Amino acid sequence: MKSYKELIVWQKAISLTELIYKTTWNFPKAEIYGLTSQIRRCSVAIPSNIAEGFHRGHRNEYIQFLRIAYSSGAELETQLLIALRINYLKQEEFEKLNNLLQEIMKMLNVLIFKLTDSKH
């Protein structure tokens, strides 16, 4: 594989980020530096860390960046749950975002496992 852009997990993470930006556009303006910013930052961190890790040159560093991407996903999941509970997100919006996020998290987990397992 020549580019991180060929990774389905990266492509899905980009799609998630796009959806996050469109959805959070409707959050209260008072949250622009609060929850809106945090949610957007976490969503951007997922594909960014996948890309950065891909070009690090060493498998261990790549795995570490994939773990950071995974951790950003867990953080994003928590923030989406908060947004749902305080009625910034409708149930349908939450489910759409969370379903895609869970798919990405599973893919990251598999990729981490395969890269870790192939070291032995």
CA distances from 11 to 7, 53, 90, 117 (A): 6, 15, 25, 24
What's the CATH superfamily of 4-117? Answer: 23S rRNA-intervening sequence (1.20.1440.60)
What's the one-letter identity of residue 43? S
Ramachandran bin of 57, using left for φ above 0, alpha for ψ from -120 to 50, beta for the remaining angles: left
Does residue 120 surpass a pLDDT of 70?
no
SS3 state of residue 22:
helix
Instruction: Judge contact between 10 and 50, C-beta under 8 A.
Output: yes
What's the one-letter identity of residue 84? L
Sequence ranges of the domains in the chain: 4-117
Q: How confident is the model over 45-100, as pLDDT tens digits?
A: 999 999 999 999 899 999 999 999 999 999 999 999 999 999 999 999 999 999 99
Global pTM reads 0.94
Q: Taking the CB of residue 34, how many other CB atoms lie within 10 A of it?
A: 11
CB contact burial 44-60 (16+ within 10 A = b; e otherwise): bbbbbbbbbbbeeeeee
Q: How confident is the model over 7-60, as pLDDT tens digits?
A: 999 999 999 999 999 999 999 999 999 999 999 999 999 999 999 999 998 999
